[in-house]
Amino acid sequence: MAVGRKMLLATVLCGLAWSQTTGLTTIQDTLFKADGTRFNGTLTIGWSTFDAANIGTIVQQSKNVQVVNGNLLVQLAPNATATPPSNVYTVQYQSDGRSQFVETWTVPVSAQPLTVAVVRTGTQAVPSSGGGGIASGVTPILESSVIGLQADLAQRPLKGTGFGSNGVAVVDDSGSLATAVGDVGACVFVDGTTGQCAPPTFADAETPGGIVDGTNGTLTLANTPLGSSLLLFRNGLYMTPGFDYTLSGSTIVFPAGAVPHPGDTLTASYRVDTSVSGNIRAFTSPGAGAQIRSTAAQVLCSSAGTSVATTSWTTLGGCDIPSSGLHTGDRIEIRFTFAHTGTVSGFNLQVNWGNTAILARGGAAQDVAVAGRAEAGVTATGAQVSVESWGTILPFLPGILSAPVQAGLEVTFKAALALVSPDSVTLTNYTVLRYPGN
């Protein structure tokens, strides 16, 4: 027995002497459980990279320390004055096949062995032994102890002095978040400023500016048409671009032999931009100084649609009608044609006026085409819609219904097959016309 004590004492003295030469601090203690019996298990000690003043750089790692019959002996680099500051050892206690708890250690420089009570600085949240709670005495993890966290946080945009709620966020000159300042209904531009939205979307039956005398071959429009949207009429006859005239910006040039003569009436309708804001109800004739209204039909949309070969409802085409195109007295005309390929499955069609389905019909497998048209008379309380449709076999069916007020809407065309099959349904063409009210 005396020999064993001498050997233990020799081991401790040897470790103490070694720790004094290496700059490590010894943590030596006897650990007990609450019932007075000695703790048996493993301590997993982890740390982040830090610089110890008396040793050098300690790289991130961990180690396991066995505790037998309560005896703990471990040597660690002092981290109390480490760089970065507040660097701690994370110590996880494990026994009986599970993690018991976690605590943190801050180890000072010491030539004498220290107990756990001296180096313990706090505990961290871990699941309780019953699996239903969190241990008390929680010490939060500092941002500085998480590698790379502060650098990552520095990359995120911060609230600036101009930041507010319930508005559009913009990035100010310093790179901080601010709120766009402007009137309700204003547009936000790419530079973060606000102002009046786009100019009028449509110009209807505009009279080009210039002298019509049989010799002047150049007339001008009030705006530059968007793309190839210009529809130019001379005495009610449509003129072909590139043949009857050429367009450069807002300038119309007629070739020799096609110059307008005195008494000719010229009207132009076109899109100015694709914004749904603005006024499509009226236009200002150059030099007239007063607004007049168009009596000609305005083509809002005219295109071929897409196809569907499944039993899921699919939108095959659509046309946006801005709120300024739904004034009381206006009339909207819708024309459409569908084609059915195959003889295995029937199909279903639907035409919607905004949120209101104005047509819903089912075609037979033998129907190769379905056509129809609808007219919506805009009223103060919404629209009264008349619709009619027919097919190769599908009988002619008229109908009248009312739709509620909608501030701007989309006319959509949908279709779906009745059965899973190699058949398909195609929206071959649709046109939406607007007749402005007086």
pLDDT digits (tens, 9 = 90+) for 243-296: 899 999 899 999 988 899 998 999 999 987 544 443 444 333 333 333 334 445
Q: How confident is the model at residue 164 (pLDDT cuts 50, 70, 90)?
A: confident
- Alpha-carbon distance of 221 to 270, in angstroms, equals 10
- Alpha-carbon distance of 102 to 112, in angstroms, equals 25
Mean local confidence (pLDDT), 351-375: 94
Q: Where is pLDDT greater, at 151 or 367? A: 367
Residue 126 has pLDDT above 80, yes or no: no
Among 164-168, 228-232, 398-402, name the one with the lowest average pLDDT. 164-168
Position 370 scores a pLDDT of: 95
**Mean pLDDT comparison of 9-18, 118-127, 417-426, 429-438, highest-scoring range:** 417-426
State the distance between the two ends of the chain, measured CA to CA, in whole angstroms.
117
Position 11 scores a pLDDT of: 53
Position 5 scores a pLDDT of: 53
Can you name the CATH fold of 299-435? Jelly Rolls (2.60.120)
Mean local confidence (pLDDT), 36-60: 90
What are the domain boundaries of the chain?
2-145, 197-294, 299-435
Among 161-165, 196-200, 390-394, name the one with the lowest average pLDDT. 196-200
Position 342 scores a pLDDT of: 94
Q: Where is pLDDT greater, at 147 or 109? A: 109
Mean pLDDT of the chain: 83
Mean local confidence (pLDDT), 183-203: 72
Residue 20 has pLDDT above 80, yes or no: no
Residue 63 has pLDDT above 70, yes or no: yes
